[in-house]
């Protein structure tokens, strides 16, 4: 009887050990499954972030193209400004020449008027002396 009792207890102990192993295995499987889910979620977030960052970034070729276009526009603007500056310098030179011509004309006219006035003055002086 004692032997039977020990066998039953041993059998029960083995069953309990087996159930404990199964429970531990189940718990471990659930833990690993939960960690794998976390890893999967993290990878999905990373992929999503990567996709959105790819959408936000501009390819180097496109940036180089834009830089070349802007440089071309800038160079054209500089040339246009240089042409405009040259035109303004020409106009300024023309105005200066016109001003000099007018000054020369006015000086000539003033000299003629002065000469006329001098003649008239001398003429009057002669008439006064003659009287």
The confidence score (pLDDT) of residue 47 equals 86
pLDDT recorded at residue 61: 86
pLDDT of residue 62: 86
- Residue 56's pLDDT is what? 66
- The whole-number pLDDT of residue 114 equals 94
- The domain segmentation of the chain, as residue ranges, is 1-57, 59-131
Instruction: From residue 115, give the alpha-carbon distance in Å to each of 96, 103, 121, 127.
Output: 28, 18, 10, 18
pTM exceeds 0.85 for this model: no
Which residues of the chain register pLDDT less than 50? none
pLDDT in the model for residue 52: 76
Mind listing the pLDDT tens digit for each residue in 17-50? 888 888 888 888 888 889 889 999 999 998 888 8
């Amino acid at each position: 009887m004692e032997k039977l009792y020990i066998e039953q207890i041993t059998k029960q102990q083995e069953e309990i050990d087996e159930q404990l192993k199964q429970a531990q295995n189940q718990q471990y499987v659930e833990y690993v499954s939960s960690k794998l889910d976390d890893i999967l979620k993290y990878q999905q977030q990373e992929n999503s972030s990567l996709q959105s960052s790819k959408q936000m970034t501009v390819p180097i070729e496109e940036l180089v193209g834009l830089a070349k276009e802007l440089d071309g526009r800038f160079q054209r603007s500089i040339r246009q400004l240089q042409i405009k500056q040259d035109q303004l310098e020409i106009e300024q030179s023309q105005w200066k020449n016109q001003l000099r011509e007018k000054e020369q004309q006015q000086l000539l006219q003033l000299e003629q008027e002065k000469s006329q006035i001098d003649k008239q003055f001398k003429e009057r002086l002669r008439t006064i002396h003659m009287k």
